[in-house]
Amino acid sequence: MTDVVVIGSGIGGLSCAAILARYGFEVTVCESHSIPGGAAHSFERQGFKFDCGPSLYSGLSYSPSVNPLRQVLDAVGVDLPCVNYDTWGCRLPEGDFDTAVGGDQFCEVLARLRGQDAVKEWRELQKVMSPLAQAAIALPPSALRLDIGAALTVGKFAPSLAKHSVNVLKLTGSFDRIMNGVVRDPFIKNWLNLLCFLLSGLPASGTNAAEVAFMFADWYKPGVMLDYPVGGSGALVNALVQGLEKHGGKLILGSHVEQILVEGKRAVGVKLRNGVEIRARRAVVSNASVWDTLKLLPEGAVPAKFRSQRQAIPECDSFMHLHLGIDAQGLPADLACHYIVVNDWELGMTAPQNVVLVSIPSILDPSLAPQGKHVIHVYTPGNEPYKLWEGIDRSSQEYAQQKRSRSEVMWQALERIIPDIRCRCDITLVGTPLTHARFLRRHRGSYGPAISAAEGLFPGHSTPLAGLMCCGDSTFPGIGLPAVAASGMIVANSLASVGQHLGMLEDVGVLKRKGAQR
């Protein structure tokens, strides 16, 4: 018996569980895999430490931070050493160049590629986005909860919300409404569509304006730096696990949840594949995707209309991954940690294999690879159709051939950065949508919901089944780490008292303590 069972140890689930433990709840996290972290987990082969998911981080190396994930770490009292940098490489149809975060650097790129008129447009967009960026951070997601107590927690930020009220309303729709009112240059539009795709899995027409405003607040300000956790994404996951266990929470690996237990129209626990039942006094929280959560519910546990509506939510495509351990001897000294490759703007950001991301994190953190080596992660971010792989036997020649042909675009992208890459490899691992579905327990290997900001809202954290709540990338706009961490905090806050919640906000610096100097 425990107070709360959390299904899945993705970043959303771990954030929720760690905060719940910090609040004093007895919490148990059930993870099907032998490694925690969900899409953010890491693994090791022959001394190479590979990141499986996110590779671009910001707002983690300082406090107080607007990044909800940093707020989770602060709340549970765990540090996360990071390496700072500001530049990444681009391989675009216009050519190869480096760009950086900060207020001015992208203007240098625009001046060289598109001329001063494009620079003026970008400056005008920055001017328009500045008040929207401030509005986007006026109400921290960590202040949200799902009950009447929200009037008290959100009310603490009423002066700030009132100050930004006009701009808060502008953040509710899709970003393209703002972009098209300012930007005419096709390259800038393409660039913004690319950034939106990396944020949400959708172009500007489907990406929530608040997500882009948050990015402008975080990336395009003077002196800003990007972060990379020392030890990779695995170090981030371990920090959350440490925070969970520090406060008495429990993580059980290899514990596959077979079914959510329902009694008297209430979720009362979970049943594992091995037959063990774990009962929950307060709640069951699912960090599984919206579709996978439905699979865990007994027939009739929720209304048929709710089930059909959730099942019909559109999904982003899946991933191809290329994990390489390579000989780094003789490589250029100015290699960047990250590269973005776009093959053809006209195809659109979501076109299969059109966008490829490259991460070489051992450039920043040499501990990730043996001496004289580099670890590389290349991936197609949410643009690999699952239907191309559906039904293929993973032990068949057909699967092996499909892996070779569908990974070729990643090799070609990497050859634009390291021309002789194919003869440098000590380790070569190819991941597919079937890999995603198998190891991450993801419905059709999906990146997450493809819900257009112009057409609908995310499903949210609540369900019609008492005692069952949800967190993760199916609940809160933005698939990235800040969004899923925020989703976990919101659920944890909702189970805590308002007093506990306000105390946490003060501890992480989001809310001023009474009597504190202003």
* Residue 518 predicted with pLDDT over 70: no
Mean of the per-residue pLDDT values for the chain? 92
**Burial (0-12, 13-18, 19+ Cβ within 10 Å), 489:** buried
Distance of CA 45 to the CA centre of its chain: 24
Q: What is the mean pLDDT of residues 22-30?
A: 98
User: With pLDDT > 70 as the criterion, what percentage of the chain qualifies?
Assistant: 98
Q: What is the tens place of the pLDDT at every residue in 75-120? A: 999 999 999 999 899 999 999 999 888 767 788 889 999 999 999 9
Give the relative orientation of helices 68-76 and 233-246 as an angle to the nearest 10 degrees.
40
What phi and psi, each to the nearest 5 degrees, are found at residue 216? Answer: -65, -35
* Residue 479 predicted with pLDDT over 80: no
In the block, residue with structure tokens 């129209």:
265
Q: What is the tens place of the pLDDT at every residue in 193-224? A: 999 988 888 899 988 888 888 888 777 777 88
B/e letters for 237-247, b = 16+ CB within 10 Å, e = fewer, are: bbbbbbbbeeb
Determine which of 51-55, 125-129, 481-485 has the lowest per-residue pLDDT on average: 51-55
pTM listed for this prediction: 0.94
- Around Cβ 308, how many Cβ atoms within 10 Å? 10
- CA gap 95, 111 in Å, rounded: 14
Distance of CA 406 to the CA centre of its chain: 24
**Burial (0-12, 13-18, 19+ Cβ within 10 Å), 429:** middle
* Residue 449 predicted with pLDDT over 90: no
Q: What is the mean pLDDT of residues 441-470?
A: 85
- CA gap 152, 149 in Å, rounded: 5
